[in-house]
Chain A
Amino acid sequence: MTDINIYEPGYEPGHEPSYEPDLSARFGSIYLKNPVISCSGTFAGGIEYNRFFDVSKLGAVTTKSFSLKKKEGNPSPRIWETACGMLNSIGLQNEGIEYFVERQLEEINNLGADIILSIFGEDVEEFKKIALKINPVLKHLKAVELNYSCPNVKAGGMAFCAVPENIKAVTSEIKSVIDIPLIAKLSPNFGSVIPCAIKAKEGGADAVSVINTLTGTAFDIDTFKPRLANIVGGLSGPAIKPVALLQVYQLAKEKIIPIIGMGGIYSWQDAVEFLIAGANAVSIGTVNFSEPDAGEKIISGINDFLVLKNISSVNDIIGKAL
């Protein structure tokens, strides 16, 4: 008889685990080996974090958002720490989509990681031009995430998410150019994400990422100056988790479109909370900065939780709280 360690996670009398739970996530036409993804802009291409853990273990790595041309980003200071969170105004600094196609894609491929490419354009034409540039490398991508929180230049710089109809237009245009699952990343800064999610679905998106950062600011009371050179920044981290969770929950109840839940996830417990609130997968962002091996820990935490609860598949907990 083998020894049974009653302190091992998963042990319950009479319920010795004889299986590894199925962590795979399937939604829309997307298949991921597990539901834990890295958020765009918090993981670069994964090269740096691969020094801390094997990033190919992640469900997918979402790249930094790429524009058509290189973008320098905002002046410093670009970040400011807040209570249980941080403000950032990086200004979408990136090397341009050609850099991704010609250099970074191969580097991430070499890590063995599954890739979600994040892109943004200042109008529908730019989005389309980027789509055409990535057409030859689509087979290397799991999906393309469309960052709809960026300013729409044609609409006076207002974010695409401010006018849900724009989301439908851009999504369907891209869908007509490239044949790959599309994820619309939605902003929480214009009320409920539901109208945007409906339009994303109508435009042909496979899923939505909910939520992007919440806008905020901070001031220095000694100098009377803003803490961020750009004044406005995006708030992320555990401070925004309850807001994100509610957006996910309310959207999931409507059963419109699969959801990748994100916003302040710091532990596997947080991830499970998003899954039971109706997210089909989760994405981790700010936590990567302080705990560079968080991805690995969150995946194994979800796994152990399922074993402990004697649940055979992560799909069985999705939407349990609805």
Chain B
Amino acid sequence: MKLLQGEILANKKYGENLFKLEVFSPYICRNCLPGQFVNVKCAFGRTLDPILRRPFSIYEIDKKFNVFSILYLVKGKGTDFLAKLDKGDILDFIGPLGEGFKADEEIKNYLLLGGGIGVAPLCIIAKELVEKGKNVFFIAGFKDETFFVWERDLIKIVRNYKIFTENGSFGQKGIPTVYLKENLHRYKDYKLLVCGPKEMLRSVQGILKSFPGIPAEALMEERMACGVGVCMGCAVKIKKSKGGFEYKKVCSDGPIFNLTEVIFD
């Protein structure tokens, strides 16, 4: 991990409040593993508000041109700032952070389930898995048509995917966890990777109780301050094998955890 500055090459609008920010950074492109993230300063110079950096998982890596990207939804002060950045501006960020994703040699089939902006880290993971010759099935769920343009990125990575929207504006109308509940018996030799809102993770964890043989990992999200394992702000409750629980840090122990071991309070 390093404190870095990189030139912004593009800040593309994908949909209502959805953007892809492309940043030049040979260091990130050489050193980043799928599932890792960058902690981005969302203020200029000595501006003190917002004071904390914002963590974004890395969405794409282009090793040829040394460009990485993040996909973000404009939700608050930090992402408001990002949306105003332009080509040529300099981004201040720390990365790559977190433990990256490592494909399981034993497992041939992967089922990736992303909810909302949770699809971002799953895309780079999907790309890695496909490159390793794994069979990947990607399920994504959204509220509305915000991610309509994003599908063009997904098509380039996986052939086998399903998109659900709550309002039916694109893909199939419905909720991916309902699909998962009804169809998970068909994916018994798959490993499940999930990223999305907490309610979705909790619901998938519930579904998995009927399928104890299916391994599942979740990419967790918590509010963070340092991003490097110091402040202990981003704690998640994890079951201990001997009983009881302990707090793990999303930033440095994660962001990937065994979904069946996560305790949702």
Contact = CB atoms under 8 A, between A and B. Distances in A.
**Does B associate with A?**
yes
Given A52-B3, A72-B246, A86-B51, A79 B225 contact: yes
Interface string A30-46: 00000000000111100
A81 B237 contact: no
B233 A85 contact: no
Contact of B49 (A42, A72, A84, A267): A84
B232 A73 contact: yes
A267 B46 contact: yes
Contacts of A237: 48, 51
B226 interface: yes
A81 to B, nearest CB: 5
Contact of B51 (A72, A88, A238): A238
A289 interface: yes
Interface string A41-85: 111100011011000000000000000000011011111110111
B230 A43 contact: yes
Contacts of B236: 76
A79 B52 CA distance: 11
A292 interface: yes
Contacts of A52: 2-3
Contacts, number: 100
Chain B interface size, as a band, is: 20 to 34
B265 interface: yes
Contacts of B225: 79, 86, 88, 286, 289-290
A314 B3 CA distance: 29
B239 to A, nearest CB: 13
B197 to A, nearest CB: 14
Contacts of A93: 232, 235, 247
Contacts of A289: 52-53, 225-227, 230-231
A288 interface: yes
A90 interface: yes
Nearest to A72: B247
A93 B246 CA distance: 10
B29 to A, nearest CB: 19
Interface residues of A, number: 35
A261 to B, nearest CB: 19
B41 A290 contact: yes
A75 B237 contact: yes
A266 interface: yes
B223 A80 contact: yes
A288 B230 contact: yes
A288 B52 CA distance: 10
Contacts of B246: 72
Interface string A284-303: 00101110110000000000
Contacts of B2: 51-52
B73 to A, nearest CB: 17
Interface in A215-266: 229, 237-238, 266
Contact of A48 (B48, B222, B228, B245): B228
Nearest to A73: B247
Contact of A84 (B48, B227, B232): B48
Interface in B33-71: 41, 46, 48-53
Interface in A169-191: none
B233 A288 contact: no
A155 to B, nearest CB: 26
B1 interface: yes
B235 A76 contact: yes
A81 B52 contact: yes
B229 interface: yes
Contacts of A267: 46
A79 B230 contact: no
A49 B236 CA distance: 23
B87 to A, nearest CB: 25
Interface in A73-112: 73, 75-81, 83-86, 88, 90, 93
B21 interface: no
B94 interface: yes
A282 to B, nearest CB: 18
Contacts of A72: 245-247
Contacts of B230: 42-44, 48-49, 288-289
A80 B224 CA distance: 9
Contacts of B223: 77-81
Interface in B207-265: 222-237, 245-247, 252, 265
Contacts of A238: 48, 51
A283 to B, nearest CB: 15
Contacts of A85: 51
B46 A78 contact: no
16 contacts: A44-B230, A48-B229, A51-B1, A73-B232, A78-B234, A79-B231, A79-B233, A79-B234, A81-B50, A90-B235, A93-B232, A266-B46, A286-B225, A289-B230, A290-B53, A292-B94
Interface of A: 41-44, 48-49, 51-52, 72-73, 75-81, 83-86, 88, 90, 93, 229, 237-238, 266-267, 286, 288-290, 292-293
Given A88-B231, A292-B226, 4 more contacts: A41-B231, A48-B228, A52-B2, A93-B232
For the complex of A and B, the 5 pairs showing the least CB-CB separation, nearest first, are: A79-B233, A289-B225, A289-B226, A44-B230, A48-B228
